[in-house]
Structure 1
Amino acid sequence: MLSVKSQAYSPEYYKTIGRIMQWRRRYVSERCIFIHHDEMAELLRGLGAVEEDFARLQVVSEHLYADPTLPFRKSRNGRFCIDFDTKSVRRLEFQPFALSTEEDFKRYDSDKVRIFDEIEDELQLNSVLQALMAFKAIMVHGVETEHRPKMDYSGNKWVCTLFNVRTITRPDLLGEPALEGVHTDGVDHTMTTFLGSKNMAPHSAVTLLHDPSETTGISFDQVTPSKIHARAQHRHFLDTLLVTDREYKHSLSPVFPQDSTLESTRDMLVFFTRKPVTDDHISASIDSLKPHRGMPMEVPIFIPESEE
């Protein structure tokens, strides 16, 4: 488990916080950042991640189950509350999941309520995962973004839905990390962290960030070049992208195999972070802030002074 209290008198801890705050200033300015694996690993170690948990995190995707709607994907999810009143991140009770066309997500399962298998203790109790949560809490704290409709921005609590996802390509099946094409994730801040891949070609899974005026739902290869804001590609363990989801749309290219006769996989953690929803939102009945009784988890987080 991650322990902020044990780091309280460590100069290295505060040095790490200072480095994270530098990234935060860049995020505030540019509205998206990409942190390479070596830098991210050092930041997570500085936040207290235990060394043996890095190897454990790389194999956690071996225990995923079939996705409820996508044949080329295996997945689990879990809900967490980033609570700036209690200065902690805690696991929330199970709830189904929904994304709507109203939120710039256009796919055949848009507006459907989906039920995912839950992430378990092997992931939520991993200190590297908890450090990633603590990192994101610091990054989003006090950062103003364009508000989404039907969300409650009055409080100090954020809902973070974590997805552990494996995208699979086989000779008979093309894995597409974003089958929906150009989209947003219906949240305020999206963070994606790479866990690993097997037999994946170098040109696979390229992420493009688009101007909000780009057409929702068009495929990766149909976008307008002049509306591309940035390009990123997760290639190494812990490569991490953070973007203000309301202010940019994004798309991804498919997972292509290095050897077309063999299966190819790409494993990710995806952190969707948003404010609690209001009563007229599609997720109003599935947005509980009650803690998870069966798999509780709560870790303290450091809350820096807002610079904005």
Structure 2
Amino acid sequence: MTTALPALYDQLRQDGFAFATADTMRDLLDAATLPDWATFTASWDTLAPDAYLASVGRHRRRRHAVFAADAQGVRREPDQPHYQSKTYNTLQGDIERWFEPIVADGPSLRRILGFCHGFFGGLAPQVDRWRVEVHQFRIEARADEAGEPTPEGVHRDGVDYVLVLLVDRTNIESGTTTIHAPDGRLLGSFTLVHPLDAALVDDARVFHGVTAVTPKNPSLPAHRDVLVVTFRADATGG
């Protein structure tokens, strides 16, 4: 852990993004000690369809929650909509989107949020309070229809920092994360393959996207499960 953190900090400061292997994240989260890990990962099986995305002919499942993070720690806020302007989401911007709330709010999620608070807070120590949004996503692929992890294309989320943590890949091919400069130049690419592989992104500096996923065996169910955590400085927190 002592060597992994400085390397991740250096890479994020230098490049605007970092890929963390599952082994690295397992150590940083001390994942072997989490009592609810199996329940946490199984909660992706209960995700509700994203009705907003279905309205434009695409399909995925998700849940959502909002937290606040400050010197007193990380605490859950009342359920509220997810909102992005069209500046950041040309597909579904400028609307309030209500999703089913996250129910797996136990030690695993709390430890992930605690890691993010410490890591991202170390990059911006001047921030007293963060608005944190948590998204569970399941992208399903079918024989006749690829799954789109980022249907809006290469984009920014309109926040300060992003963690994308792979939870599961079942019968899936592709799903390559690409990182781009504001002028569109490709800065790097990698594929989250193993549970706990992660991408850490400085959203103010770089754009990101994920290529479509297809089933390895078209006759079997195929999905890609990720947890996305975003941190944005909350000016209303004083």
Q: Residue by residue, what CA displacement relative to the aligned partner does 1:30-53 show, whole Å, maximum 9, x if unpaired?
A: 32111111121122118xx63443
Of 180, 187, 199, the residue aligned with 2:152 is 180
Contact 1:189 1:242 in 2 (8 A): yes
Q: 1:172: how far off?
A: 4.1
Matched, 1:137 2:117: yes
* TM-score (normalised: structure 1): 0.70
Q: Residue by residue, what CA displacement relative to the aligned partner does 1:37-86 show, whole Å, maximum 9, x if unpaired?
A: 1121122118xx63443333322201111113123211000001111x32
Higher CA-based Rg: 1
Distance 1:114 1:258, change over 3 A: same
Counterpart in 2 of 1:190?
A: 162
Aligned mates of 2:22, 2:122 — CA distance in 1: 26
1:102-141 correspondence to structure 2 within 5 Å: 102=87, 104-107=88-91, 109-120=92-103, 123-125=104-106, 127-141=107-121
Counterpart in 2 of 1:234?
A: 192
Contact 1:192 1:271 in 2 (8 A): yes
Counterpart in 2 of 1:4?
A: none
Distance 1:171 1:27, change over 3 A: same
Counterpart in 1 of 2:208?
A: 250
Contact 1:171 1:263 in 2 (8 A): no
Counterpart in 2 of 1:55?
A: 38
1:63-74 correspondence to structure 2 within 5 Å: 63-71=46-54, 72-74=59-61
Of 55, 69, 78, the residue aligned with 1:93 is 78
Matched, 1:159 2:140: no
Aligned mates of 1:181, 1:52 — CA distance in 2: 37
- Structure 2 unpaired stretches of 5+: none
Of 154, 169, 173, the residue aligned with 2:141 is 169
Contact 2:49 2:61 in 1 (8 A): yes
Counterpart in 2 of 1:82?
A: 69
Counterpart in 1 of 2:175?
A: 205
Q: Residue by residue, what CA displacement relative to the aligned partner does 1:146-176 show, whole Å, maximum 9, x if unpaired?
A: xxxxxxx985100110000100112343310
Q: 1:274: how far off?
A: 0.6
SS of corresponding position for 2:111:
helix
Counterpart in 1 of 2:227?
A: 269
* TM-score (normalised: structure 2): 0.89
Q: 1:23: how far off?
A: 2.6
Aligned mates of 1:181, 1:236 — CA distance in 2: 23
**Once the two structures are aligned, what percentage of the paired residues are identical?**
27
Code of the residue aligned with 2:96 in structure 1: it is: V
Code of the residue aligned with 2:189 in structure 1: it is: R
Aligned mates of 2:74, 2:2 — CA distance in 1: 17
Code of the residue aligned with 2:180 in structure 1: it is: H
Aligned mates of 1:26, 1:266 — CA distance in 2: 26
Aligned mates of 1:196, 1:29 — CA distance in 2: 29
Q: 1:17: how far off?
A: 5.9
Code of the residue aligned with 2:90 in structure 1: it is: K
Aligned mates of 1:80, 1:17 — CA distance in 2: 28
Q: Residue by residue, what CA displacement relative to the aligned partner does 1:180-218 show, whole Å, maximum 9, x if unpaired?
A: 1111111110110000021112xx11011001122xxxx
- Alignment RMSD: 2.1
